[in-house]
C-alpha cells in the first residue's frame, strides 16, 4: 500500500468511527415514549460539565438519550451510559470476540461451571452431533426416545438453542408431546443442525412463582471485571406474561429493577411497552409491600466467582433462577446483555465506576489513527504519538505538533525495518522514546 492509499484508508477509518458514534443514537430511541418530560436547563448544564472532557471520543452529546432514561427509571444522572459509548467504545474493551462464542455455548456450561448448580441437561447437540448428559454420543433416534422416557418418568423438558436470545428458539416438551417420532421431528427438522440443550424444567421458588406462575422467572444480574476485580453492577427480575412459559421481556414480559446492594425490588415494573406498571399480569401488586429477592447475596457471590473463569469478557449478564428452596440456579450467561434495560429500571449501570471507565477508555486509551507523508500517528484527546515512520530518509525530524496537538512520543517499533541514523525531536519526545531511539545508529 503506497502512502496516498494509507492516508486515505486511515481517513476512512476515522470517518467510520464518528459515523458509528452518530448512528448509534438510534439504539436508545426505542426506549423513548411520546410525552417524555424534557430535561431542565440545569440538567443539560450538568451533562455538558460532565461530558465535555470526553468530546474527542464523543463529540455530539445525545441529550435525548439522557432524557429517555431519566423518564424510564424516574431519576436523572449524568453517569447514564449513552448508546454510542456502549457500542463504539466500551464494547471493544469489554468483549473479546475470539472467546465469546465458546463461552456462551449452552451445551458447554457443564464443562465451564461444573461446580455451579444448573438445571440438569439430559441431552445436547454440539457441532451437529447429539450427546447425553455425560457427553457420550447418541444417535438422533436414541436422543428422541431418551427424551420421551425422561418426560414420562420425571416430567417436562425444555429445548434451548445457543446463539439466540429474546425467548426465541425455546420449545417445551410436555407429557402429551412424549412421542419419539414427534420429538425426532422437532430435533432434526424444526431445529435443523442448530446447537441445542435439552434440560429438565426447573421447579421455581414460591417467591419467584408469585410474579408469574406460568414462566420460570429469573434474576438478570450483570457483572463487570475491571482492574482484576469482579463487581455486580446491576440487577433486575425478568417476569413472563401470564400464560407465557418464557420470562423474556422481548416476548411480552416485564422487568422489575433490583437494588444491587440490598436486593430490594422497585415498587413498579417496566412493561414491554416501556411504561411503568405496579400490578403484574399475574395480579401481584408491587406497590402493596416491599419485596426483597431471597438469597441475593448468594447470587452475587455465585456470578462473581463464575466471572473470573472468563476474564476475556469484561461485562457479562447472568440469568439466575431460584429453586423451591431459594437456591440460585445458573441458567445462562450473555456477553451482549442489554445495558439499556438496567439503565431503564435502576439507573446508571456502572454507577460509581463510570468516572473511571470514561477516563480510561475515552481519555487514556482512546485514539484515532491517521497518516502523514512520513508517519502513522495516533491522536489522543490531548496529544499525538508516532506509531511508525514511513519515510525513506536516514535523518528524521519529528514535528513538534500535529493536528494542533503536541507530539509526545515515538512507539518502541516506530523505526522497525528502517535505517535511521539521526532523529531530531523535542526534548519531550526524546525523553519518552528511549526504546524507539535505541534502534537509531
Give per-residue pLDDT as tens, 58-87: 999 999 999 999 999 999 999 999 998 998
Q: Choose the final residue of a domain: 200, 224, 243.
A: 200
Do 221 and 192 reside in the same domain of the chain? no
The pLDDT value given to residue 242:
81
Pairing of strands 269-270, 276-277: antiparallel
Do 63 and 176 reside in the same domain of the chain? no
Q: Number of folded domains in the chain? A: 4
Task: Write out pLDDT tens, residues 197-217.
Answer: 999 999 999 999 999 998 899
Q: Choose the final residue of a domain: 319, 335, 351.
A: 335
Indicate whether 362 belongs to any domain. no
Q: What share of the chain in percent tops pLDDT 70?
A: 97
The pLDDT value given to residue 33:
96
Q: Which domain holds residue 308?
A: 97-115+203-335
Indicate whether 342 belongs to any domain. no
Indicate whether 154 belongs to any domain. yes
Do 326 and 231 reside in the same domain of the chain? yes
Do 21 and 41 reside in the same domain of the chain? yes
Q: What share of the chain in percent tops pLDDT 90?
A: 78
| Contact call for residues 166 and 253 (beta carbons, < 8 A) | no
Indicate whether 306 belongs to any domain. yes
Task: Write out pLDDT tens, residues 111-130.
Answer: 888 889 999 999 999 999 99
Do 139 and 161 reside in the same domain of the chain? yes
Do 173 and 229 reside in the same domain of the chain? no
| Contact call for residues 323 and 329 (beta carbons, < 8 A) | yes
3-class DSSP string for the chain? CCHHHHHHHHHHHHHHHHHHHHHCCHHHHCCCCCCCCCCCHHHHHHHHHHHHHHCCCCCCCCHHHHHHHHHHHCCCCCCCCCHHHHHHHHHHHHECHHHHHHHHCHHHHHHHCCCCCCCCEEEEEECCEEEECCCCEECHHHHHHHHHHHHHHHCCEEEEECCCCCCCCCEEECHHHCCHHHHHHHHHHHCCCCCEEEEECCCECHHHHCCCCCCCCEEEEEEEEECCEEEEEEEEEEECCCCCCCCCHHHCCEEEEECCCCCEECCCEECCCCCEECECCCCCEHHHCCCECCCHHHHHHHHHHHHCCCCCECEEEEEEEEECCCCEEEEEEECCCCHHHHHHHHCCCCHHHHHHHHHHHHHHCCCEEEECCCEEEEECCCCEEEEEECCCCCEEECCCEECCEEEEEECCCCCCCCCCCEEECCHHHHHHCHHHHCCCC
Mean pLDDT of 335-353: 93
- Round to whole Å and give the CA distance between 109 and 191: 20
What mean pLDDT is reported for the chain?
92
Do 133 and 181 reside in the same domain of the chain? yes
Do 71 and 132 reside in the same domain of the chain? no
Sign of CA dihedral 153, 158, 159, 160: negative
Task: Write out pLDDT tens, residues 353-363.
Answer: 999 999 999 99
pLDDT at residue 105 above 60? yes
The pLDDT value given to residue 117:
93
The pLDDT value given to residue 99:
81
Task: Write out pLDDT tens, residues 143-179.
Answer: 999 999 999 999 999 999 876 555 567 899 999 999 9
Do 128 and 152 reside in the same domain of the chain? yes
Do 389 and 265 reside in the same domain of the chain? no
Task: Write out pLDDT tens, residues 222-265.
Answer: 999 999 999 999 999 999 888 776 767 766 789 999 999 999 99
The pLDDT value given to residue 19:
87
Do 43 and 141 reside in the same domain of the chain? no
Higher pLDDT, 246 or 21: 21
Q: Choose the final residue of a domain: 150, 185, 200.
A: 200
Indicate whether 346 belongs to any domain. no
Whole-prediction pTM value? 0.90
Do 72 and 210 reside in the same domain of the chain? no
- Residue partners of 134: CB distance under 8 A and separation at least 6: none
pLDDT at residue 306 above 90? yes
CATH of the domain at 172: 3.30.1490
pLDDT at residue 420 above 80? yes
- Within the chain, what is the greatest distance between any pair of CA atoms? 83
Mean pLDDT of 279-301: 96
Indicate whether 151 belongs to any domain. yes
CATH of the domain at 211: 3.30.470
* C-alpha closest to that of 41 among 80, 72, 67: 67
Task: Write out pLDDT tens, residues 29-43.
Answer: 999 999 999 999 999
Higher pLDDT, 182 or 108: 182
Indicate whether 354 belongs to any domain. no
Indicate whether 351 belongs to any domain. no
pLDDT at residue 8 above 70? yes
The pLDDT value given to residue 337:
82
Cell of 434: 528511549
- Residue partners of 278: CB distance under 8 A and separation at least 6: 267, 268, 269, 285, 286, 287
Amino acid at each position: 500500500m503506497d502512502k496516498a492509499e494509507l492516508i486515505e484508508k486511515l481517513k476512512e477509518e476515522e470517518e467510520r468511527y464518528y459515523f458509528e458514534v452518530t448512528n448509534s443514537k438510534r439504539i436508545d430511541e426505542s426506549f423513548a415514549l411520546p410525552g417524555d418530560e424534557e430535561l431542565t436547563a440545569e440538567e443539560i448544564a450538568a451533562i455538558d460539565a460532565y461530558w465535555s472532557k470526553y468530546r474527542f471520543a464523543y463529540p455530539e452529546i445525545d441529550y435525548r438519550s439522557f432524557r429517555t432514561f431519566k423518564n424510564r427509571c424516574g431519576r436523572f444522572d449524568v453517569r447514564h451510559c449513552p448508546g454510542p459509548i456502549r457500542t463504539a467504545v466500551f464494547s471493544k474493551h469489554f468483549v473479546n470476540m475470539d472467546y465469546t462464542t465458546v463461552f456462551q455455548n449452552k451445551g458447554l456450561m457443564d464443562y465451564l461451571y461444573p461446580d455451579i448448580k444448573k438445571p440438569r441437561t439430559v441431552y445436547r447437540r454440539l457441532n451437529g452431533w447429539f450427546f447425553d448428559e455425560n457427553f457420550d454420543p447418541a444417535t438422533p433416534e436414541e436422543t428422541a426416545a431418551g427424551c420421551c422416557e425422561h418426560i414420562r418418568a420425571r416430567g417436562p423438558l425444555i429445548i434451548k438453542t445457543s446463539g439466540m436470545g429474546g425467548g426465541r428458539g425455546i420449545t417445551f416438551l410436555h407429557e402429551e408431546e412424549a412421542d419419539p417420532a414427534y420429538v425426532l421431528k422437532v430435533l432434526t427438522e424444526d431445529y435443523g443442525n442448530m446447537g441445542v440443550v435439552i434440560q429438565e424444567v426447573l421447579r421455581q421458588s414460591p417467591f419467584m412463582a408469585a410474579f408469574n406462575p406460568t414462566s420460570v422467572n429469573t434474576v438478570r444480574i450483570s457483572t463487570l471485571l475491571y482492574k482484576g476485580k469482579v463487581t455486580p453492577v446491576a440487577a433486575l427480575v425478568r417476569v413472563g406474561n401470564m400464560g407465557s412459559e418464557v420470562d423474556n421481556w422481548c416476548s411480552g414480559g416485564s422487568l422489575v429493577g433490583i437494588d444491587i446492594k440490598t436486593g430490594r425490588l422497585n415498587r413498579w415494573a417496566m412493561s414491554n411497552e416501556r411504561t411503568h406498571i405496579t400490578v403484574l399480569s399475574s395480579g401481584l401488586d408491587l406497590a402493596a409491600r416491599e419485596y426483597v429477592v431471597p438469597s441475593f447475596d448468594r447470587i452475587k457471590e455465585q456470578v462473581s466467582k463464575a466471572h473470573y473463569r472468563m476474564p476475556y469478557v469484561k461485562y457479562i449478564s447472568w440469568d439466575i433462577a431460584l429453586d423451591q428452596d431459594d437456591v440460585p440456579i445458573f441458567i445462562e450467561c450473555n456477553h451482549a446483555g442489554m445495558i439499556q434495560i438496567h439503565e431503564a429500571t435502576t439507573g446508571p449501570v456502572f454507577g460509581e465506576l463510570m468516572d473511571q471507565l470514561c477516563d480510561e477508555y475515552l481519555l487514556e486509551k482512546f485514539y484515532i489513527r491517521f497518516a502523514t507523508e512520513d508517519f502513522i500517528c495516533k491522536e489522543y484527546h490531548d496529544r499525538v504519538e508516532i506509531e511508525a515512520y514511513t519515510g525513506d530518509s536516514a535523518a528524521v525530524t519529528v514535528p513538534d505538533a500535529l493536528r494542533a496537538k503536541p507530539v509526545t512520543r515515538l512507539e518502541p517499533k516506530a523505526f522497525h525495518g528502517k535505517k535511521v541514523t539521526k532523529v531530531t525531536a523535542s526534548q519531550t519526545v526524546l525523553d519518552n522514546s528511549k526504546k524507539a531511539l535505541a534502534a537509531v545508529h
